[in-house]
Amino acid sequence: MKVLQHVDKNMKGLITDLQTLIRQPSVSAKNECLEECAELVAKIMSRSGIKSEILRIGNKIPPVVYGEVKSKQNQSKTILFYNHYDVQPAEPFELWDDKPFSGKIKGNKIFGRGSSDDKGELITRIKAVESYLKVHGDVPCNVKFFVEGEEEIGSMHVEQYLKKYKNKLACDGVIWEFGYVDQKNRPIISLGMKGLLYVELSVTESIRDAHSSLAVLIKNPSWRLLEALKILRDSDGKILIKDWYKEVDPFTKKELELINSEPFDESSFKKEYGIKQFVANKKGRDVKKALVGEPTCNIAGFISGYVGPGAKTVLPANALVKIDFRLVPKMDPKKQLARLEQHLRSKGFGDVKVTMIHGEAASRTKISDPFVSQVKEAANESFGKSIISVSSAGTGPMYSFAKILAVPSISVGCTYIFSRIHSPNEFARIDLLKKTTKCICLIMDKFAS
């Protein structure tokens, strides 16, 4: 295909645009330069021949960048690319080899916060559409872009955007914002995303911190919180909250077949993270089943007392723990929150305050959907071989797209599985950026036909 040859010959432009995006900080957790980055994305789209527009639902809410190209030859099918322009905070800065927003190239890698998650992925979509327009002056099907600025803080307003602009965003299928590539350069095509319940548990015991000698008289809220945490899950990771798994369906026969066939290199994974064994000493199929379909209860942070250098003999007045629960299909975040609160009360921990930070339901596309085979064929042609996964272990607002737009969503992309996303020295591999851009071209072609 001439369009694929165009991708080969124009990688310099892709790299330059990606470096430009990386060099524009856009940290949603700190509300840093989101407007500037949205405008930059719209500008890159327009320069690529994509009609762009800034969508808003409020002055203080990060905007969505909308892009559209109408096909001259095929008005019957519309594909939508969902991506995000916001990134994670770059701290701790001292652990970066170069400045975190440098976009520096070293060999086959482009370094910088957002290089993979998600600016690299976004550029592959834009450049695939640009290649079609440059070569043919047209695209195989209608194309739309939905690029948000709050994904890294929970996509709190995606559902409002989808509802307000439902007609504008109408489509027949969604290519999700990312996709992992394994150690053998095989793209992992994920058909779903886990859900999330993010909460804070807190205990306040006194009106101020006290001298630690008073620990014989004043209760320490940290101990109280630790006692509460022990009743949430066991050492094997099983969640002990009553009815927590009530709505969870077992895997279907077809899903189990996919899980069995999906390769997973346990040794290299353990080596990458410097661990000796998995939770509950899982092995083989149980490892893969846990990744795609097992709920979790994870302590994301514990805050109490003095944590600076040296010693400070203090008895803290309060303690707070941040917990994220990964959810699977049919688990309702609000219902799970109620079960958590009831569990704490029933076990004598009614004094522990529960604050919900974010909730997101899980979603999965059916294996039998024709969109799945189209994406897999395209990935096989571009990469040589691909892997279908029942679900990603991560979370995103896929459920909102399925509920409001009523279309299948599939993840496929260029994020190398050990590309250090959310960590210092995040990078994107140039060879995978090229293969993914070609893959997106092929997906549009197969989707149209």
pLDDT digits (tens, 9 = 90+) for 129-172: 999 999 999 999 999 999 999 999 989 999 999 999 999 999 99
Q: CA-to-CA distance for 66 and 128, rounded, in angstroms?
A: 16
Say if residue 350 is in the same domain as residue 390: no
pLDDT above 70 coverage of the chain, percent:
100
Q: What is the pTM of this model?
A: 0.89
Mean pLDDT of the chain: 96
- Distance (Å) of CA 318 to CA 16, 133, 163, 201, 303: 49, 59, 40, 11, 9
Say if residue 62 is in the same domain as residue 113: yes
Report yes or no on 187 lying in a domain: yes
Residue 287, pLDDT above cutoff 90:
yes
pLDDT at 28: 97
Report yes or no on 373 lying in a domain: yes
Work out the angle between the directed axes of helices 2-9 and 11-22 (0-180°, nearest 10): 60
pLDDT band at 370 (very low <50, low <70, confident <90, very high): very high
Say if residue 84 is in the same domain as residue 172: yes
Residue 93: CB atoms within 10 Å: 10
Our measurement of the distance from residue 116's CA atom to the centroid of its chain's CA atoms, rounded to an integer in Å, reads 11
Average pLDDT over residues 276-289: 95
Provide the residue range defining the domain that includes 154: 2-193+362-448
pLDDT band at 59 (very low <50, low <70, confident <90, very high): confident
Are 90 and 100 a contacting pair, CB within 8 Å?
yes
Average pLDDT over residues 229-246: 97
Average pLDDT over residues 409-435: 97
Say if residue 353 is in the same domain as residue 387: no
The pair of three-digit structure tokens given for residue 225, joined into one six-digit string = 């919180």
Report yes or no on 254 lying in a domain: no
Say if residue 307 is in the same domain as residue 176: no
Residue 58, pLDDT above cutoff 90:
no
CA-based angle 441:433:4, to the nearest 5?
A: 35
Report yes or no on 283 lying in a domain: no
Single out the residue in 360, 376, 408 at which a domain terminates.
Answer: 360
Domain count within the chain: 2
Say if residue 40 is in the same domain as residue 150: yes
> pLDDT by residue (tens digit) across 167-210?
999 999 999 999 999 999 999 999 999 999 999 999 999 999 99
Single out the residue in 311, 339, 360 at which a domain terminates.
Answer: 360
Average pLDDT over residues 291-296: 95
